[in-house]
Chain A
């Protein structure tokens, strides 16, 4: 994997974000013989998709689809990848984008590290693993996760106790405790913003009391619980390790609500909740699974059938609004539901021992803070041209995937291909104009 560059490297295109959108755009550009620099702020490429369990609508294993793309990008001769690197800003002048990067120290020399994990086994400091949404434990120096790319150890200075054990066992002398941050400025003709999404805070609706119960979880946490190599190796609830017997999904728990600043629909929650419910019924055959929803938005190809299959599997769908959630004894949760399905009894109290809140999708990064790229009123990158869906307000800067708005993997990949095509066309036209001029 090519990770060496200096400021005199001038790639044809720079891609911000190594999620599935950034990876697809990078591969499509690199296959056209263009030089690509892919910049990812985390320690591994793969974005949110590499942490998912299985994906709707096919129920394919997420890492089985993502890992080959990650690996293809890492081995492509035309792609250079910088991980642990943030984009600090972009200045655009005369059609050239000056991209300022900050490469954070990993305290490990990647040229020497062979990914043997001896350092990780020698370290005795552990902290809640961010890859496992805080449920698992990871050591202060570790290869970020099993199929991370690059397979290199990274030291977390915030938790490191500076005992020196890792450097004592490292067979290649890779550990460099005095590594410093590095600033780089890259000049490029085209940029693709593929900075993805985040979920809004699980506590955004105080009436759901998520801060008062560990058994009110994020859907990303449930993805990890369902993943074959998840933190517990099976589905257990975080408060006490119990196998849950009754699980509730509360839909639109962070979207379609003006009062929390997310008036739009996050588009993927209905479908991933249905998927997760199906996977749960496989993992916990005796569990009772209920989805509380306002309306099910199953708009994609084959999605309605997916919804009907879930109903046929015995998943309970209750149309209504969950007004409040309260923690009760034994770590359980009491849900106050206003349902439209039972006219005689519209206000109901239901008990569950695990609750998943469908948080809203929000932008993963705000480029308008540090670049000339404008964002729309929903906070995602604005795409003003109806006929050029990947174009932003700045010529030569394009957008792909959830950086432009909530969408699922199928739409993200299609858009990433479109962004790569628009970027290569732009480069071709720009360079032909220079030749003609």
Chain B
């Protein structure tokens, strides 16, 4: 989807919202940085092969509940999908891998 540029009044409104929030706090900035980095790392890890939540957590040194939360968000927004099970855990794969696997069946 092509990104339009914001009209001057939209820019002004956005600045007003930012000001009303007291600016973007350092905590919010850090949280966003962490989110983007964790998602990127998970995508990269899953490029090799599908993995379970504990496997993702161990590889990326994340608490397993946090790894599950990221996978849940990535599943909802179409980046990863379930790809079978291993022991008591579902496996997650990149959506592109999953689509390729389904096409070859």
User: Could you list which residues of chain A lie within 8 angstroms of chain B, going by C-beta atoms?
Assistant: 107, 118, 121-122, 124-126, 128, 135-139, 157-162, 164-165, 167-169, 175-178, 214, 231-234, 236, 238-243, 245
Contact across chains for B77 and A178 when beta carbons are under 8 A apart: no
- Report whether over half of chain A's contact residues are helix, strand or loop; otherwise say mixed: loop
Chain B residues with CB below 8 A from A164, complex form: 6, 10-11, 14
Contact across chains for A167 and B14 when beta carbons are under 8 A apart: yes
Contact across chains for A239 and B64 when beta carbons are under 8 A apart: yes
Known: A165-B3, A241-B68. A177 touches B90 (CB 8 A): no
Q: Does B88 contact A (CB under 8 A)?
A: yes
**Whole-angstrom CA separation of A176 from B16 in the bound complex:** 11
Q: Does B105 contact A (CB under 8 A)?
A: no
Cβ-defined partner of A176 (8 Å) among B5, B13, B75: B13
Taking CB atoms and an 8 Å cut-off, the chain B residues in 30-58 that contact chain A are 32, 35-36, 52-54, 57
What are 20 A-B contacts defined by CB distance under 8 Å? A107-B17, A122-B1, A122-B3, A135-B69, A139-B77, A158-B21, A162-B18, A164-B14, A167-B6, A167-B14, A178-B16, A178-B17, A232-B75, A240-B53, A241-B52, A241-B54, A241-B64, A241-B68, A243-B90, A245-B88
**Whole-angstrom CA separation of A176 from B65 in the bound complex:** 35
Contact across chains for A243 and B17 when beta carbons are under 8 A apart: no
Q: A164-B14, A243-B89 are in contact. List 9 more A-B contacts (CB 8 A).
A: A107-B17, A122-B3, A136-B73, A161-B32, A168-B4, A232-B68, A236-B90, A241-B52, A241-B68
Cβ-defined partner of A161 (8 Å) among B28, B68, B72, B90: B28
Known: A239-B64, A240-B57. A161 touches B24 (CB 8 A): yes
**Whole-angstrom CA separation of A125 from B28 in the bound complex:** 10
Contact across chains for B3 and A242 when beta carbons are under 8 A apart: no
- The number of A-B residue pairs with CB atoms under 8 Å apart is 108
Chain A residues with CB below 8 A from B35, complex form: 124-126
Cβ-defined partner of A169 (8 Å) among B4, B24, B69, B77: B4
Closest B residue to A353 by beta carbon equals B88
Contact across chains for B17 and A241 when beta carbons are under 8 A apart: no
Most buried by A among B1, B14, B16: B14
**Whole-angstrom CA separation of A135 from B69 in the bound complex:** 7
Report A180 CB to chain B, min CB distance, Å.
9
Report B24 CB to chain A, min CB distance, Å.
6
Chain A residues with CB below 8 A from B17, complex form: 107, 157, 160, 162, 177-178
- Report whether over half of chain B's contact residues are helix, strand or loop; otherwise say mixed: helix
User: Could you list which residues of chain B lie within 8 angstroms of chain A, going by C-beta atoms?
Assistant: 1, 3-6, 10-14, 16-18, 20-21, 24, 28-29, 32, 35-36, 52-54, 57, 64-65, 67-73, 75-77, 82, 85, 88-90
Chain A residues with CB below 8 A from B82, complex form: 233
Chain B residues with CB below 8 A from A243, complex form: 85, 88-90
Chain B residues with CB below 8 A from A135, complex form: 69, 72
Chain A residues with CB below 8 A from B29, complex form: 161
Contact across chains for B77 and A236 when beta carbons are under 8 A apart: no
Cβ-defined partner of B10 (8 Å) among A137, A167, A238: A167
**Whole-angstrom CA separation of A245 from B88 in the bound complex:** 9
Report A17 CB to chain B, min CB distance, Å.
28
Report A91 CB to chain B, min CB distance, Å.
30
**Whole-angstrom CA separation of A160 from B32 in the bound complex:** 10
Contact across chains for A121 and B77 when beta carbons are under 8 A apart: yes
Closest A residue to B9 by beta carbon equals A178
Contact across chains for B10 and A231 when beta carbons are under 8 A apart: no
Contact across chains for B72 and A231 when beta carbons are under 8 A apart: yes
**Whole-angstrom CA separation of A124 from B40 in the bound complex:** 12
Chain B residues with CB below 8 A from A167, complex form: 6, 10, 14
Known: A176-B13, A178-B17, A241-B68. A126 touches B4 (CB 8 A): no
**Whole-angstrom CA separation of A167 from B70 in the bound complex:** 25
**Whole-angstrom CA separation of A166 from B46 in the bound complex:** 28
Contact across chains for A137 and B90 when beta carbons are under 8 A apart: no
Contact across chains for B1 and A162 when beta carbons are under 8 A apart: no
Known: A167-B14, A233-B75, A241-B52. A137 touches B4 (CB 8 A): no
Chain A residues with CB below 8 A from B57, complex form: 240
**Whole-angstrom CA separation of A139 from B53 in the bound complex:** 22
**Whole-angstrom CA separation of A329 from B101 in the bound complex:** 36
**Whole-angstrom CA separation of A133 from B37 in the bound complex:** 25
Contact across chains for A168 and B73 when beta carbons are under 8 A apart: no
Contact across chains for A136 and B76 when beta carbons are under 8 A apart: yes
Closest A residue to B19 by beta carbon equals A162
Contact across chains for A162 and B73 when beta carbons are under 8 A apart: no
Contact across chains for B76 and A242 when beta carbons are under 8 A apart: no
Chain B residues with CB below 8 A from A139, complex form: 77
Report B82 CB to chain A, min CB distance, Å.
7
**Whole-angstrom CA separation of A430 from B35 in the bound complex:** 59
Report B2 CB to chain A, min CB distance, Å.
8
Contact across chains for A177 and B68 when beta carbons are under 8 A apart: no
Report A231 CB to chain B, min CB distance, Å.
5
Most buried by A among B10, B24, B57: B10
